[in-house]
Structure formats: structure tokens, C-alpha cells
Structure 1
Amino acid sequence: MTIKNIVIFGASGQIGQNATATALKQGYKVRALLRDPSKMPNDMREQIEVINGDVTNESDVKKAVEGQDAVVVTLGTRNDLAPTTVLSEGMKNIVAAMKSSGIDIVSVCISAFLFYEPEKVPAIFHAINADHMRMYECLKESGLKWIAIFPPHFTDEPSGKYTVKHDSSPGRMISKKDLGAFMVECLSNPEHYNKVCGIAQDKTEV
């Protein structure tokens, strides 16, 4: 199936904006579910279809997913590291909406901490990491063509050369632009389906 229409969850965030920019540049029609549309830059917001809603609301998510060909998930809590279930609840709603709409391709940005043994994750990240794990478990059980991206620290560096490895992290940092771009580009690359993708800038580029 040719992908023409993409819905992005978390489009107003750092990675979401870069994913949106890539999708628009590559000619996709983009829809975004936004709790606060004012957080999306005006020039970008004018080029996409905005649905005002919340990822924890099943009907909002279903409305956002209907009629799309693929899904990009860049949900986050910004700098809030407190215990939460918002990310995993949102993921469950997205998976359910995709199944009911017959859509099966989704890329999801989670965290490179999932490559670690739980006891090796810094304590400050334990609570948020637990919800990241719940997101990942939801994906694995979904039966969809999912791509789970576990990025390391992301930076404001310009785009450069980067490496993608399955099931391990190839480095310690990645440009936000490259991460956002990969989240869109991997949708049409079956080699990444049902894989965990580590991504990092090549050392010569850092």
C-alpha cells in the first residue's frame, strides 16, 4: 500500500515538529491530534489538518486515526518525570483505533533506556521509564506492523549521517531533525517492521 496520509500524535513536541516537517516536505498529507494547537508553530499548523483533542480520549484518537494510512507517535511528558500512565494509555487508544480502522503501520518514539537493565536506569527516570515499557509492551502485543525507535539523548545539531541498528543503540546522541525524519521514513521500509531500532549520529558527525 502506498502511504499518502499520516497522523502524528505528539506533533507539537520537539521530535513531533521535526517529523511533521519531514512528512510535509515529502508530500504527505498530515493530520495531528493536538491538545493545545497554539503550541504548534503557525506556519506548520496552517499546512496540516488539526484535530483538537487528547490522546487519552478514545473518541478523539479514533477521529484522528480514521482515513489515515500510517501513524507516527512522538508522545512525551516534556520535562515532567513524575509517575504517569498517560503515554501507555494513549498508546492503547492508538492501537485500538488503528485496528478498528484497518491501519497497521506505526512508528513510535520511546527511549534508549529500554535497552538498559532496569536497575541500571538512573533513578530519576524510573517512573517515566516504567510507562515507556508499558508503551512498548502494548506495541509488541498489538499485531501491527510497528517500529519501536529507542533514541538516545537528542540534540539541536543539524542533520548528519547516522546509523540505525536493530536491538541495540549505536551511539549516545541523535539530532532531533534526523530522529524526526527517520520516524516518517521508516514507515515505508519493511525491514524495520516489528523491530526495535536504535539510532545515533555517526561519531565523525558529532
Structure 2
Amino acid sequence: MNIVVFGANGGTGRLLVRRALDAGHTVTAVTRHPDAFTLGDGATLHENLSVLAADVHDPNAVDRAVTGHDVVLSALGVPYARKPITVYSVGITNIIAAMDRYGIRRLVCVSSSATDPATRYHDTGGGFIFEKVLKPFITKTLGKELYADMLRMERLVQASDLDYTIVRPSGLFETPAVTEYVDAEIELPERFTSRADLAAFMLRLGEGDEYSRTSAAVATVSTHPRVIDLLRQEAFARS
């Protein structure tokens, strides 16, 4: 299978590219900074890997990246910011247009459990401080612009004719390997998702048609990060 991965230089993107290569797929890793790209283990070369320099704001660059592939996986991510964020909505607009142009059907893209107002405020059992103080601060202040653009992305994907799945992880953190994660349509009560589990789930979706034309939640249940570490990490990096 020929797979193109957008956001390939992010924490999840690198794991996703590595996992797809290990599964025997041919992968194009799309990043604005190809010189900085590695496979997470320090390697930069693989016989089935192509690294392509492209900015998702550039429709021509996105068009070149998408052509010739069977599946599009988007792990786009940017840090929280006070200024308006457009990478998700503009990027997905260009990705959808290119997919339509070349007749590519399968799209898997990362959003967040904090994106959709209909599911954003469900009680995860995290206690008063987490539910009433930390979560509102993240969604309404720290990540306000990011989640607003993620929601625009979701609406654009949902309005498309593609066989899409919108993946909604919760607070992202690191584990050394894939765990026995859980997944479900729309939402889960758990608060955290390891990037390894997110990458494994995204590839699983890209290889088949699970959760087609809907959103899916994925969460890690066997281990959890410290909330303070998660907040520190989330303030400076995304997917």
C-alpha cells in the first residue's frame, strides 16, 4: 500500500511513518523541514521511504504529495498559540481537494477529544481540579485557537465525500511501545492517549475501513502520565 503521511516530523507522525514502513508499506513522509526528519531511532533512510518538503498551506505542494497514493494519514499538529491557527482547516481543505482530484478515498486525520463542543465537557472521572480547573483552562484559554481550527477541520472532513475517520485522542504522552489501547466511536471516558497507541490505531484504520465516515476515540488505559508533565508538554508541542 502507498501511504502519504502529513505532519510526519511530529511526535506521532514519526512513529506512524516508522510503523507503516515496518508493516511493509511504501511511505511518503511530508514535512516542512525534511532535513530534520528522522524515523525516531535516528535513521533517516529506508528503501520504502520518500521524504517530501511541503507546506500544507500550499495547494500545489499538497497536490504533489497526494498523487499516486492509496491512503492519506494526517498527523498535523502545532503548539498552542494566542493568535489564530489555520494549519488544520487550510491543510485539510488542500488535502481533500487533492484527494478528490486523484480519486483517493481513504483519509485518517488526527483531531482531539477536546475539539467537539458536543463531547468536550464529558466527565472523565479526573476529579474536581482536573474537570473544573485544568480542562476548562486548556480548552477555553490555552488551546482556544487550536481547538477552534481543529473543529473547522472536522466540519470540512465531515462535509466531504471521502471515506474518512476523524481520530480523537485525549492528552498525548509517550510510552516506549504500543499498549493494549481501547477505541470506540465518538468518545471514551479516559483522559490520556500515548502517541505509540495513536500511531498504531491510525495505521490500523488506514489499512481497512473501520469507523468509516465517523469519528473514533482512542485511549491508553494501562499507564498514565503525571498531569503536570502533560500540561508542560502540551504547552509547547502537538501531535
TM-score by length of 2: 0.79
2:194 equivalent to 1:175? yes
What aligned pairs does 1:1-206 form with structure 2 within 5 A after superposition? 4-41=1-38, 43-47=42-46, 48-80=49-81, 82-114=83-115, 115-116=119-120, 121-158=139-176, 159-202=178-221, 204-206=222-224
Deviations 1:159-185 (A, max 9, x none): 211110101124111111110111111
Once the 2 structures are TM-superposed, how far is the Cα of residue 205 of structure 1 from its aligned partner? 4.2
If each structure's helix is expressed as a fraction of its own residues, which one has the higher value?
1
**Secondary structure of 2:114's match?**
helix
Report the equivalent of 2:236. none
Distance 2:81 2:22 in 1: 31
**Cα deviation, residue 21, structure 1:** 1.0
5+ unaligned residues in a row in structure 1: which ranges?
none
Residues 81-104 of structure 1 deviation map (CA, whole Å, 9 limit, x = unaligned): 532112210100000000001101
Q: Please identify the structure whose Cα radius of gyration is greater.
A: 2
Distance 2:43 2:25 in 1: 13
Q: How many Å apart are 1:44 and its aligned residue?
A: 4.4
Once the two structures are TM-superposed, the CA of residue 79 in structure 1 deviates from its matched residue by 4.7
Give the partner amino acid of 1:116: R
Q: Which runs of 5+ in 2 are unaligned?
A: 122-134, 225-239
Alpha-carbon distance in structure 2 between the residues aligned to 1:172 and 1:126: 19
CA contact (8 A) 1:10 1:33 kept: yes
- For 2:204 and 2:189, the matched residues in 1 are separated by 19
SS at match of 1:147: strand
Instruction: Determine helix, strand or coil for the equivalent of 2:155.
Output: helix
Moved more, 173-182 or 35-44: 35-44
The Cα offsets for residues 95-123 of structure 1, whole Å up to 9 and x where unpaired, read as 00000011010100011102315x95332
Contact 2:108 2:206 in 1 (8 A): yes
Runs of 4+ in 1 over 6 A off after TM superposition: none
Shift of 1:53: 1.7
Q: Give aligned-pair identity as a percent.
A: 29
